[in-house]
Structure 1
Amino acid sequence: MTSSDAPAVVWFRDDLRVSDNPALRAAVDSGRPVLPVYVLDDSGGGSRALGGASRWWLHHSLAALDASLRKRGSRLVLRHGDGAAEVEAVLRRTGAGLLAMNRRYSHGEQEEDHRVRRAAEGLGVEVSEHTGSLLHEPGEVLNGSGERFAVFTPFFRALTAAGQPREPLPAPASIDGWEGSVHTEDLDALGLLPTHPDWAGGLGEEWTPGEKGAHRRVDDFVAHRLARYADERDLPAAEASSRLSPHLKFGEISPYQLWHRVQNADAPADIRTKFLTELGWREFDYDLLESHPHLDTVNVHREFDAFPWADVDDRVLHAWQRGRTGIPLVDAGMRQLWTTGWMHNRVRMVVASFLVKNLRYDWRLGEQWFWDTLVDADPANNTAQWQWVAGSGADAAPFFRVFNPVLQSQKFDPAGEYIARWVPELADLDAKGRHEPWTVDGVDYPAPIVDLKRSRQEALDAYQRMRD
């Protein structure tokens, strides 16, 4: 095998796209034949094992990526096992001359990437690493003292003061695919889709995973929702959210593409900035993840280690998980999550507050449930948001900010439209009845599993005991 025959292996991870993919671009520009590889790693040695909803999404996203690569003259090799070991095996089998990859940021992922770099160097393989999933490398945005920001607003101000993000890279028109023989798994054999039972019907109705689906959703958002975003983003019935989070999570669209698309949209500057601020939170959360590698299990503010969580009643926890708490907005959100793999952000805060404060259950129980059921379950955002609600995270809401789910639904879903959609047994009631069905006789709906006023006070008392 000559050096020109030695392929450039592209290790795809959370960057399942061909446009604005710096690692793929580097491989194509190297002049070597290109071999794209994806490894499903359930070993726990690198990435956190995906939840069920994310596995469903991954199946369809990999199929879309393979189709896109084949149109350009390449293909996607699928492997299953320890990520570092499988990539090393591919490098050995193919005699690769280059390994290209976009960086990842969780503790396990970085350790795995370090193992791969060492293996590649031992084989004499050049390693090319790139920033493709974030607008900045964690730790690059620092305050005047050279330290990381602990508060979001000055972080975002410093991030944007650094100038506009780079322009997105075009997709390669063609790819010189490596034609040698290397083992690849069949996509169906990876077992990503649910079968017994197949609970994913609602996900299929709601989502189109893949790069094309991501860009269609961006087009729809910019054309029909962006103008309403600032005013209506907190209204769960208004459908003003972008719903781009799962596409970003799987890297079917890059933050650079999304930033410039919104920045160049025909919308007032304040509305564009409002949306771009949400991208800024994603950046902030990844900074937090790198500096707190066990963010999914360890409180950022360690005084919360002493918080007196309540003993878990499995029946109560199950009622929360399946939307049978007797609190309409909470139940609507949890049913939306179970059906579609997604929940409106305002409602996420409400259901999280209800679990952590009204039920006084450890935030980690909620984080794990979201990790398994969200299609956008992200190692930084999902955990950081739970710690934010619990009061234990960086720039978090204070613990004594307890969301009253009835007042929240009255304010942000005044007619109860969102509730009526996801809790249809309340749809025939008027607005008051939808918010407070316990005031209406003869409604086939559970009684509240907890008294909101009393449980709020008990949560505040527990917080005071922790402080004492």
Structure 2
Amino acid sequence: MPDTALVWFRRDLRLFDHAALYHALKRHARVVAVFVFDRDLLDPLPADDRRVAFIHAALVELANALAQHGSALVVAHERAQAAIPRLARQYQAVAVHANHDDDPAARRRDEAVARTLADEGRRLFTHKDHVLFERDEIVTRQGGMYSVFTPYRRAWLARLDDFMLSSYPVARYLDRLAPLPPQPLPTLPGLGFAEITLALPGGMSGGEQLFEAFKERLDRYHLRRDFPALKGPSYLSAHLRFGTVSIRELARHAHGVGGPGAQAWLGELAWRDFYHQILWHRPDVVEHAFRPEYDALPFPNREDWFDAWREGRTGYPLVDAAMRQLRHSGYMHNRLRMVAASFLVKDLLVDWRWGERHFAALLLDYDLAANNGGWQWAASTGCDAQPYFRIFNPVAQSRKFDPDGHFIRRYCPELAALPDAAIHAPWEAPPLTLAEAGVRLGHDYPLPIVEHARQRELALALFKSARRP
């Protein structure tokens, strides 16, 4: 039998610039591509989870691409800890190659798989692929992790060079893919999930399409990125999450183009790496505050207020529009993630972990490191966090970043007839203005469930209490 290896596709659903695939093809005579619908991950999910639909669409395209090279994607639906050793035995593989996944649960899974493979005389090799710089590749002068972003970004940018941004030349070795007949790909209903029409194009082709469109507006990214009604972001976050695009290709383009727009976007990619290195060094942040003094803040945690926030009926239009966008599409604009998170923690005095779990359940681009880091930043409990005494004013944010109310009108249509000046804080509008717009506060749209100024003082007192010796 030829020297055979498996490539275990996970959050890297593409057939180009792929570290694990490249190393497997280079080192072995025959390579079998496999994917596992891991029941440990899928069984707790609701049937309408958009992420499974996104993954399935990407796998269809990946399988078709493999078929063009005379191979196939072998798919299992079971626990990965059992599936990978079983497939290694089935194909008599001497090794399994996969790309790093630094989520704590994934690390435990990989350690268990590696032990089982080792017991059978096989090896699990893992490779860096999902980020540009990982784990302890960028450390302080003292050799520790960075806990403040600005110096990390400087070090990150200083390390960018042609080598770090170069692609893995997978194409030249694809003739080593194992010749396999077509393999059955489970349907979404067969997996227990609903057929869902996604709001963005999926798979490798969808990632390429979105990236090509973003290139045309990259030079204006720094000017438009904070305005949810404008087409400012790249909309590539889900593709980055599931690896249908290459982080090296994206960063290489921005680095080569230069200019303030590209530099701002590179800064966002650096944030992504920053949060991943935090998770690697401090896996405890999954359940605990990065800053221990804030781990047990006595949040009142009113469930009725949390429900109002989740459902987009707080009475603050920008917050409600953001939460409705999330529920409707599985996406939320980055500026609004900060506003919504700040409102939950600092206005409604609800533990950030509640909000983090809600985002984790709905975001198509959910990434543990980024979601946790972003929530802890907004809640002032994390590394390089927004200082606790800086609290977003939801009305001021609305007037600044959705000045004409276009975004609010899209997701809060009951307010659509209000003039621009009134749509950000309808309770301040004259009765005649409300009547002319057909808005009855407390009936068509809720009154604010809290008063921002008062809640701000309560939040300050809450955080100050944790800082007392």
Query: Normalization by structure 2: what TM-score?
Result: 0.91
Tell me how far 1:177 sits from its aligned partner: 4.2
Aligned match for 1:99, one of 96, 120, 136:
96
Contact 1:59 1:192 in 2 (8 A): no
CA deviation map 1:210-235 (0-9, x unaligned): 11111111100011x21211111111
Q: 2:458 — aligned with what?
A: 458
Q: 1:33 — aligned with what?
A: 30
The residue type equivalent to 2:166 in the other structure is E
The residue type equivalent to 1:337 in the other structure is L
Tell me how far 1:146 sits from its aligned partner: 1.2
Tell me how far 1:398 sits from its aligned partner: 1.2
The residue type equivalent to 1:38 in the other structure is F
Tell me how far 1:296 sits from its aligned partner: 2.6
Contact 1:426 1:433 in 2 (8 A): no
Tell me how far apart the structure 2 counterparts of residues 182 and 75 of structure 1 sit (CA, whole Å): 6
The residue type equivalent to 1:441 in the other structure is L
Q: 2:139 — aligned with what?
A: 142
Q: 1:140 to 1:24 in 2, by over 3 A?
A: same
Gaps of 5+ in 1: none
Q: 1:374 to 1:319 in 2, by over 3 A?
A: same
Compare 168-177 and 336-345 and name the one that shifted more.
Answer: 168-177
Q: 1:19 — aligned with what?
A: 16
Q: 1:145 to 1:50 in 2, by over 3 A?
A: farther
Contact 1:84 1:116 in 2 (8 A): yes
Is 1:274 equivalent to 2:264 in the alignment?
yes
Is 1:65 equivalent to 2:62 in the alignment?
yes
Q: 2:188 — aligned with what?
A: 188
Q: 1:133 — aligned with what?
A: 130
CA deviation map 1:354-403 (0-9, x unaligned): 11111101111111111111111001001110011111110000122211
The residue type equivalent to 1:291 in the other structure is H
Q: 1:289 — aligned with what?
A: 279
Tell me how far apart the structure 2 counterparts of residues 287 and 347 of structure 1 sit (CA, whole Å): 24
Aligned match for 2:399, one of 410, 414, 418:
410
The residue type equivalent to 1:370 in the other structure is F
Q: 1:243 — aligned with what?
A: 235
CA deviation map 1:173-214 (0-9, x unaligned): 64444357999662435536336xxxx45xx2x211111111
Alignment of 1:32-431 (within 5 A): 32-43=29-40, 52-164=49-161, 165-172=164-171, 174-179=174-179, 186-188=186-188, 191=191, 193-194=193-194, 200-201=196-197, 204=198, 206-223=199-216, 225-265=217-257, 268-313=258-303, 315-431=304-420
Contact 2:72 2:183 in 1 (8 A): no
The residue type equivalent to 2:401 in the other structure is F
Tell me how far 1:84 sits from its aligned partner: 2.1
Task: Calculate the aligned-residue CA RMSD, in Å.
Answer: 2.2
Compare 186-195 and 353-362 and name the one that shifted more.
Answer: 186-195
Contact 2:70 2:179 in 1 (8 A): no
Higher helix share: 2
2:319 match: secondary structure: helix
Tell me how far apart the structure 1 counterparts of residues 45 and 201 of structure 2 sit (CA, whole Å): 19
Compare 297-306 and 367-376 and name the one that shifted more.
Answer: 297-306
The residue type equivalent to 2:451 in the other structure is D
Tell me how far apart the structure 2 counterparts of residues 227 and 163 of structure 1 sit (CA, whole Å): 20
Tell me how far apart the structure 2 counterparts of residues 303 and 183 of structure 1 sit (CA, whole Å): 53
Tell me how far 1:123 sits from its aligned partner: 2.4
1:10 match: secondary structure: strand
Tell me how far apart the structure 2 counterparts of residues 142 and 29 of structure 1 sit (CA, whole Å): 31
2:125 match: secondary structure: strand
1:264 match: secondary structure: helix
Q: Determine what percentage of the aligned residue pairs are the same residue.
A: 36
Q: How many residues align?
A: 452
Tell me how far 1:34 sits from its aligned partner: 2.0
